[in-house]
A = this chain, B = another copy of it.
Amino acid sequence: MAVARPLRAGRRMQRLTIDLADRSYPILIGPGLLADAREWAERLPGGPLLVVTNETVGPPYLPRLRAALGARRLAECVLPDGEAHKTLATLARVFDALAAARVNRDGGVLALGGGVVGDLAGFAAASWQRGVAYAQLPTTLLAQVDSSVGGKTAVNHASGKNLIGAFHQPCVVAADTDALATLPEREFRAGLAEVIKYGLIRDPAFLAWLETAMPGLLAREPEALARAIRRSCEVKAEIVGRDEREHGERALLNLGHTFGHAIETAAGYGEWLHGEAVAIGTVMAAEASERLGWLSRADVERVLAAAGLPTAAPRIGVERALELMRMDKKVLGGRVRLVLLKRLGEAVVTGDYDERALLGTLQAQVA
């Protein structure tokens, strides 16, 4: 039955636009978007489609997606779940599925899942036949507020996170907020780390609102969630629209990520959820900022802790941390550039900082 579920899309749906000339696309946020594709199916290419998803997300959501897309034939590629599978080897499986499904340049990919699925399926779409269209259908909070928006795609390398990838914009992002109701608590909280990030780097009023609204967010109240997701996507859309390929401002979105990626890689992919590592990394960035006399680390830590996020780093060692941070994509002339906080709501990316602030932070946090 194609209409077994109530068709609610449109009722409270919000629409934003990523403004990138001929690569512009809409972000749709609202309940029921997977069960009712009327608002976004027209954005899909006309040829064969491959849905890339994982073993956790596929079983509950594939049937409603199939029903929503009705007459369209969809091939499937169901991957194992987790960051440990965001590899070239898994990517090769997606290419095999694309070949089997005869996806050509008039076809495309649907990325149904969280950040791992979106990043990997997006890179597959970027590379298959040198680029086919794809839609992001994010089902986790982290993917809905961050990874599905902006066209960064990648897989991991043993030496670092997201080191192999492409900039490739999706043709549409459809974030079905119904999917958040069943998200495991730990994953939900991990997504809040990226939401808080937007407040920290750009919007002190949003940050203040997040702090007061945190109980409602943690209770997953729809109105609070909708506001948090919308504002997150707005900030990201603004920044990506001005700096698609991260020549400057876009690097601010990496607050907490240089430290966080090092923690994820050192601990083994999958040990920490990405959002958890970002939370810890954000505290470390705040500590380095405090050591430069810029703001109080405690103010940052308090918001993250209120979201139930970890704030203490695992003891991966100073040398290992530095080695991994040197693989960061922001390194320039051998210098690790950091995203630091001037004050709450204002971030800077800089390689021009007192080295002792970085070493002191690592000594205190990971030694």
Task: Spell out A's residues near B (CB within 8 Å).
Answer: 46-47, 88, 91-92, 95-96, 99, 102, 104-106, 123, 126-131, 152, 154, 157-160, 163-167, 245, 326-334
Contact = CB atoms under 8 A, between A and B. Distances in A.
Contacts of A334: 47
B326 A128 contact: no
B158 A105 contact: no
Given A130-B167, A159-B99, A167-B131, A106 B327 contact: no
B99 A92 contact: no
Nearest to A123: B127
A331 B106 contact: yes
Given A165-B127, A332-B106, A333-B47, A99 B326 contact: no
A158 B333 CA distance: 40
Nearest to A48: B334
A105 B163 contact: no
A99 B333 contact: no
A329 B157 CA distance: 28
A331 to B, nearest CB: 4
A131 B128 CA distance: 16
Nearest to A167: B130
Given A99-B157, A99-B158, A99-B160, A104 B167 contact: no
B164 A127 contact: yes
B333 A106 contact: yes
A329 B104 CA distance: 6
Contacts of A128: 163-164
Contact of A102 (B129, B131, B327, B333): B327
Contacts of A329: 104-105, 129-130
A104 B332 contact: yes
A161 to B, nearest CB: 11
A102 B326 contact: yes
B333 A163 contact: no
Nearest to A160: B99
Contact of A95 (B96, B126, B163, B332): B163
A164 B95 contact: yes
A9 to B, nearest CB: 29
